[in-house]
Structure formats: structure tokens, C-alpha cells
């Protein structure tokens, strides 16, 4: 690789740098790869590994594997992490895992095969291995899996000076922490103090006098979605995790909670689109097909249901071709209106803003919006149909169908996800398919039924 091709102006991952790295890999130039990769942040390196194909990824790791550390592994998406780990020399992998906090180790381990898990566990120090195995014993997607075991604690009777002396002398502090957790002799959390208050208080001040009002605890068995909600709702920075006996077993920090919140949002978007809840651009063809095929099949079944409704009015459509021309408009408007209400409902359910207390008001609002939108588009389509087909009654029919369909779309967009949630099903999972089915069936039935009665 030529000297002037090495990018050293900006330490960012852009298309030029990606192209240069791929050229260096193709040329088997380890020196150039190192010069290009070293300035990058761990998150950018993870993005690079996700963007390139399997063969380029394997070649890059072979040239640069000695530089891959724990932070990079923790940033790589689940879809290719197992593949990357399998390509790493054992000593590189063990060294990388020893750098991580226990919560990051657990996050990596839970998606690996048993033999890879055992290899990584063997590389950890005894204390860390026990902590990781205890965390893995908690249910999947629970606070126990999310927490880190490295916690800074102090007796509740300590002074600020005693806490500072302890922190300075300790050699096993977490890389990042925000609170000192105060515990009683039974290791039950009594409160926490921010580092800012510790540093600004006098040495003889009691820690118990500096505790934060935001203090609360989370059970290790609580779902991680509840953890993300609590952090977001109460603006927490960190939160102690306790076992069934209320003893302190770990702590969850804001970065992990926000990762969960981000994953929940991505999962909802993917599920609403019917492409699975873990789809990624690095997924292979068969895996992507497997994720999408079931919901396409469900959509086919619901489309057949709508077609059966249309088939009941075959004679009417044959006698008045304009009905076939206008049917897609009725279905499209209803589907879009339903999707609008559905998106609002799924988001509100995920953030717990939509509850039994305001359910009636929200349903009434969406119904009223559906009626008003229906009236507006009824006038628009009534005039268009009248001018287009020179038949004022056809305009009346499509106008009435538009009002009914948009009203139903607004109600279905709220009621379908709510009913799915109460049935114990993720409202993002298949609500879109069912709402579209409702609007298609109702729209076709009302439009063609009115046309059969009024126009024929």
C-alpha cells in the first residue's frame, strides 16, 4: 500500500478509511492495517467488522487480532460476535475478557455456545468467574443478567474522610461508578451518595447525611425492560440490585439501562415491520429469510381473507368497473390511518403512558380524529369520483366508506395492541398485520356493500 494512501487526518470511520483498510487487508499489509485501525474508537472498529463481509472480516482479524480488546468485543453486535470470537487466538480472547466488567462478560457469554462459554470462563480469575456464573444463573433478560458485580459500598456510619481514604487505598474499584452505596451490617442498602457530594463535603461529614432522595433498589429477577423504564422515568444514574432477602448483589449503571431502552425501541420497530426482533445488516440470507417468512405467511392469510370479502361482490365489480379502480384508495387510506394510531399506541404502551386510567380518553381521541379525517377525505374523494366518473352517487358511496373506514382504523390502531398486551403478547409483534386486516375487510365490505345497494 502506498504511503500517501494511509489516512491519518481524522480519527473517524468513513468510506475512505474503510476502503483503505480493505486494500491493506487484500495486500496482507499488517503495518498499514495497524496504522489505519489504531486511531479508531472501539465502537467504530465494531462497526467496521459488521460492515465488511465474512471473508474480509476473517482476513482482517488474522492481521490485527492482537489488538482486539474487551471494549471492542462488547461493542460488536450479537449477530457476528460469536463468529469474531471463534476467529481470535485463545490468548487474545482471554486477555480481552479479563479487561471487562462482569456485566459486559455476561452480555457476551449469554449468546455463545457452551464450549466457547467454558473457554472464556476458564480464562477469568476465580472471583470473576464465580460472579459471572452467579449472574448467568438469573433469568434471561433480567436485572441479574444486566448488573455488574463490582460495587463500591461503605458502612452507613462512615464519614466522608473515611470513604475517601478507602477509595484511594482500594485496588479493586470499578472502572466507572457514580455512587457509594451505604449498607448496614447485613449488606442491605440504606441509601447512596454521589461522588460529587463526597468530594464537596467536609471530611467529618457523615455519609448518611448526604444520601440522595432518588435512592431505590431493583430486584435481581426484575425484567430488564422494567429496569430501563425506572432509569428513564426517575432519571437515575445508577441503581443497586438486591436479592430476595434485600441484600446487595450488584449495581446497574445508566449506560446499560439506556442500551436496553435502545434495544427495546429497535425491537419494536423491527417487529412492527414484521422482520423479526434481532435483524441486522450482517445477517446471512437464510437467517434473514427465516425471520421474515412467518410474518409474510400471516400477511398472505389475512390478504386472502380480504380477497374473500371482495369475492362476495364479484357481480357488482363486474357491472361497475369504477369500483375496482377506487377500492385500493379505500384500503390504502384505512391502512395508513390505522398504522398512525398503531404506532402511537405501541410507543405509549412501551413507555407506559397508555394505561387503564387514560384508555377511554385516548380511544375517544383516536375515534374523533378518524371521523374528522374521514369527513375531510370523504369530501375530497367524493368530488374526485364525481368528476372522474360523472356519477355523484359514486362520490357519496366512497365518501361514506372513507368515513367509516378511517373511524374503524383509528379505533383498531389503539384497541388491537392493547388487547394483545392484555393477552400477554408483545403489542409490536403482529399488531400491524391485524390492524391492516381489519381496515381492509371493513373498507372493502362497506364500500362494495354500499355500492351494491345504492348504485346497482
Euclidean distance between CA atoms 73 and 109, whole angstroms? 11
pLDDT in tens, 248-292: 999 999 988 888 877 776 666 666 655 555 555 556 677 667 766
- Residue ranges per structural domain of the chain: 3-143, 153-254, 285-454
Euclidean distance between CA atoms 148 and 280, whole angstroms? 27
Contacts of 414 (CB under 8 A, 6+ apart): 341, 342, 344, 345, 362, 363, 366
Euclidean distance between CA atoms 269 and 343, whole angstroms? 9
Question: What is the CATH T-level fold of the domain 153-254, as seen in this structure?
Answer: CBS-domain (3.10.580)
- Residue 7 predicted with pLDDT over 60: no
Helices (H) and strands (E) in the chain, counts: 21, 6
- Residue 392 predicted with pLDDT over 80: yes
CA-only gyration radius of the chain, Å: 29
Q: What is the CATH number of domain 3-143?
A: 1.25.60.10
Label residues 242-252 b or e (16+ Cβ within 10 Å = b): beeeeebbbbb
pLDDT computed for residue 116 by the predictor = 76
Euclidean distance between CA atoms 154 and 193, whole angstroms? 10
Same fold for the domain at 3-143 and the one at 285-454? no
Label residues 269-289 b or e (16+ Cβ within 10 Å = b): ebbbebbbbebeebbeeeeee
pLDDT in tens, 400-423: 999 999 999 989 988 988 888 888
- Residue 449 predicted with pLDDT over 60: yes
pLDDT band at 180 (very low <50, low <70, confident <90, very high): very high
> Which set of grid coordinates corresponds to residue 322?
369504477
Highest mean pLDDT among 47-56, 111-120, 137-146, 154-163: 154-163
pLDDT computed for residue 434 by the predictor = 82
pLDDT computed for residue 126 by the predictor = 82
Question: What is the CATH T-level fold of the domain 285-454, as seen in this structure?
Answer: Tetracycline Repressor; domain 2 (1.10.357)
- Residue 369 predicted with pLDDT over 70: yes
187: left (phi over 0), alpha (psi -120 to 50) or beta: left
Which of the pair, 213 or 124, is modelled with greater confidence?
A: 213
The mean pLDDT value of the chain amounts to 84
pLDDT in tens, 63-89: 886 678 888 888 888 778 888 888 888
Amino acid at each position: 500500500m502506498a504511503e500517501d494512501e494511509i489516512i491519518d487526518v481524522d480519527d473517524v470511520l468513513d468510506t475512505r478509511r474503510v476502503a483503505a483498510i480493505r486494500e491493506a487487508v487484500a495486500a496482507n499489509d499488517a503495518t498499514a492495517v495497524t496504522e489505519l485501525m489504531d486511531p479508531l474508537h472501539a465502537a467504530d472498529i465494531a462497526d467496521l467488522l459488521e460492515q465488511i463481509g465474512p471473508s474480509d472480516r476473517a482476513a482482517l482479524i488474522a492481521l490485527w487480532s492482537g489488538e482486539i480488546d474487551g471494549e471492542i468485543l462488547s461493542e460488536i453486535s450479537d449477530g457476528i460476535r460469536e463468529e469474531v470470537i471463534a476467529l481470535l487466538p485463545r490468548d487474545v480472547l482471554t486477555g480481552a475478557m479479563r479487561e471487562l466488567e462482569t456485566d459486559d462478560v455476561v452480555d457476551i457469554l449469554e449468546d455463545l455456545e457452551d464450549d466457547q462459554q467454558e473457554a472464556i470462563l476458564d480464562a477469568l480469575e476465580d472471583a470473576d468467574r464465580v460472579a459471572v456464573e452467579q449472574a448467568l444463573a438469573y433469568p434471561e433478560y433480567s436485572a441479574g443478567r444486566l448488573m455488574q458485580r463490582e460495587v463500591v459500598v461503605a458502612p452507613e456510619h462512615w464519614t466522608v474522610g473515611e470513604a475517601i481514604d478507602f477509595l484511594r487505598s482500594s485496588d479493586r474499584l470499578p472502572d466507572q461508578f457514580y455512587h457509594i452505596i451505604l449498607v448496614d451490617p447485613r449488606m442491605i442498602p440504606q441509601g447512596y451518595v454521589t461522588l460529587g457530594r463526597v468530594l464537596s463535603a467536609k471530611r467529618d461529614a457523615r455519609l448518611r447525611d448526604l444520601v440522595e432522595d432518588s435512592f431505590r433498589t431493583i430486584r435481581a429477577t426484575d425484567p430488564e425492560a422494567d429496569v430501563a423504564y425506572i432509569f428513564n422515568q426517575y432519571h437515575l444514574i445508577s441503581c443497586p440490585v438486591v436479592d430476595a432477602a434485600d441484600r446487595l448483589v450488584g449495581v446497574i449503571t445508566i449506560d446499560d439501562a439506556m442500551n436496553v431502552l435502545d434495544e427495546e425501541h429497535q425491537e419494536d420497530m423491527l417487529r412492527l415491520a414484521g422482520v423479526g426482533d434481532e435483524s441486522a445488516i450482517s445477517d446471512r440470507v437464510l437467517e434473514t429469510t427465516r425471520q421474515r417468512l412467518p410474518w409474510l405467511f400471516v400477511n398472505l392469510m389475512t390478504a386472502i381473507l380480504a380477497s374473500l370479502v371482495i369475492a362476495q361482490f364479484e357481480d357488482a365489480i363486474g357491472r361497475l368497473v369504477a369500483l375496482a379502480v377506487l377500492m385500493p384508495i379505500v384500503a390504502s387510506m384505512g391502512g395508513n390511518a390505522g398504522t398512525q394510531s398503531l404506532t402511537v399506541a405501541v410507543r405509549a404502551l412501551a413507555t407506559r403512558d397508555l394505561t387503564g386510567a387514560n384508555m377511554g380518553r385516548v380511544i375517544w381521541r383516536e375515534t374523533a380524529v378518524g371521523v374528522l379525517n374521514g369527513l375531510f377525505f370523504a369530501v375530497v374523494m367524493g368530488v374526485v369520483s364525481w368528476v372522474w366518473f360523472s356519477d355523484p352517487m359514486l362520490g357519496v358511496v366512497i365518501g361514506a366508506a372513507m368515513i367509516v373506514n378511517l373511524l374503524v382504523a383509528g379505533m383498531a390502531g389503539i384497541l388491537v395492541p392493547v388487547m394483545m398486551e392484555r393477552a400477554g403478547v408483545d403489542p409490536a409483534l403482529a399488531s400491524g398485520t391485524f390492524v391492516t386486516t381489519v381496515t381492509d375487510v371493513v373498507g372493502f365490505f362497506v364500500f362494495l356493500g354500499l355500492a351494491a345497494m345504492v348504485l346497482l
